[in-house]
A = this chain, B = another copy of it.
């Protein structure tokens, strides 16, 4: 299968508009249902790349030690981002505000999270500013709160942090810890209309090499290509993803209920799935807060954060976001292993099931699968 995985980015060191559909599709998978609708972000990124030309991509190993690397993204409730499209210039606004506070120019844009829309926002930012884009992200997936990134485990501060809206308002935060950045930024996001461009976790090139997950954009492009090819070949996309990533197909079924609410800038909810095929007669409950958090079958946890719980449309193989999930969808639910640092004690304290209010310890998805 490897010979099908050609991606210009890996040979040319650039991302152009033609690369975006695969990256967006793969990033939607890594987004585990969250990170915002990748479709709208892709349309905007395509327009910006067509206007301004391709973006240069740099692998973490190529970074100078004294590079000034800034991850960017959009913060807010995906349900709102669908209805209030991005303008594009808000990312430039956030990055320039942060550069002014740092007192030295930002040299590289990075991805805060690999998920959905936030795979596209750093590409938009790089194209808008002319800066090179780092092929790396802060989590290897998507998470609902901004302190939930691997740089937090390295003691890197989220602040100074800048945020901008499409109207031209900017907010710069300096906080005593990353939890306070989350708290203050979340309120400002709600005021700004439930979505805002953010630039945060400024770090050196040396820090970026150890604190970020390398190769995320390349991985997203590869996963998107696998899904595209599987669809063209009428193959089982879920199985092909598991072959690439490890993990397991947790469930196949039909959405029979989705209960959702937008609270404090988050899209929270619970989906109920009725099993089909080998899973007929059983039910899966999928809890989400922007991203899927915990999957249970017959009351037993089969996967939980920080492992990746990904939902694919059973017919097309396309990733399904939490905000798009609705009654009648036939889906496959995958459990994929997270980056190993998330499974450390500190990683689980930051983004494990107990942080999100669940009363169970984390067990790796592959261990749970082997026990069934």
Q: Report A's interface with B, CB cutoff 8 A.
A: 97, 100-101, 167-176, 180, 183-184, 187-188, 190-192
Assembly stoichiometry (copies): 2
Whether B168 and A176, one on each chain, are in contact in the complex, defined by CB atoms closer than 8 angstroms, is yes
User: Bound complex: CA of A110 vs CA of B338, how far in Å?
Assistant: 54
Which of A167, A174, A183, A191 has the most chain B CB atoms inside 10 A of its CB? A174
A89 to chain B, nearest CB (A): 13
User: Bound complex: CA of A174 vs CA of B97, how far in Å?
Assistant: 10
Whether B169 and A172, one on each chain, are in contact in the complex, defined by CB atoms closer than 8 angstroms, is no
- Specify which chain B residues have a CB less than 8 angstroms from the CB of A184 in the assembled complex: 169, 171, 188, 191-192
- Specify which chain B residues have a CB less than 8 angstroms from the CB of A191 in the assembled complex: 183-184, 187
User: Bound complex: CA of A175 vs CA of B176, how far in Å?
Assistant: 24
A188's contact among B97, B169, B176, B188, by CB below 8 Å, is which? B188
Q: List 20 A-B contacts (CB under 8 A).
A: A97-B174, A100-B101, A101-B172, A167-B176, A167-B180, A169-B173, A169-B174, A169-B176, A169-B180, A169-B184, A170-B174, A170-B175, A171-B171, A171-B172, A183-B191, A184-B188, A187-B187, A187-B190, A187-B191, A188-B188
Whether A171 and B173, one on each chain, are in contact in the complex, defined by CB atoms closer than 8 angstroms, is yes
- Specify which chain B residues have a CB less than 8 angstroms from the CB of A174 in the assembled complex: 97, 169-172
Beyond A168-B176, A169-B174, A184-B192, 4 additional contacts (C-beta under 8 Å) are: A97-B174, A169-B175, A169-B184, A187-B190
User: Bound complex: CA of A167 vs CA of B176, how far in Å?
Assistant: 7
A186 to chain B, nearest CB (A): 8
User: Which residue of chain B has its CB nearest to the CB of A164?
Assistant: B174
User: Bound complex: CA of A173 vs CA of B97, how far in Å?
Assistant: 10
User: Bound complex: CA of A269 vs CA of B191, how far in Å?
Assistant: 25
User: Bound complex: CA of A173 vs CA of B167, how far in Å?
Assistant: 13
A105 to chain B, nearest CB (A): 16
A200 to chain B, nearest CB (A): 14
Whether B173 and A173, one on each chain, are in contact in the complex, defined by CB atoms closer than 8 angstroms, is no
- Specify which chain B residues have a CB less than 8 angstroms from the CB of A176 in the assembled complex: 167-169
User: Bound complex: CA of A174 vs CA of B90, how far in Å?
Assistant: 13
- Specify which chain B residues have a CB less than 8 angstroms from the CB of A175 in the assembled complex: 169-170
User: Which residue of chain B has its CB nearest to the CB of A189?
Assistant: B187
A204 to chain B, nearest CB (A): 21
10 closest cross-chain pairs (CB), A and B: A187-B187, A172-B172, A170-B174, A168-B176, A169-B175, A187-B191, A183-B191, A169-B180, A184-B191, A167-B176
- Specify which chain B residues have a CB less than 8 angstroms from the CB of A173 in the assembled complex: 169-172
- Specify which chain B residues have a CB less than 8 angstroms from the CB of A101 in the assembled complex: 100-101, 172
User: Bound complex: CA of A169 vs CA of B310, how far in Å?
Assistant: 37
A372 to chain B, nearest CB (A): 44
- Specify which chain B residues have a CB less than 8 angstroms from the CB of A100 in the assembled complex: 101
- Specify which chain B residues have a CB less than 8 angstroms from the CB of A188 in the assembled complex: 184, 187-188
User: Bound complex: CA of A192 vs CA of B176, how far in Å?
Assistant: 12
User: Which residue of chain B has its CB nearest to the CB of A171?
Assistant: B173
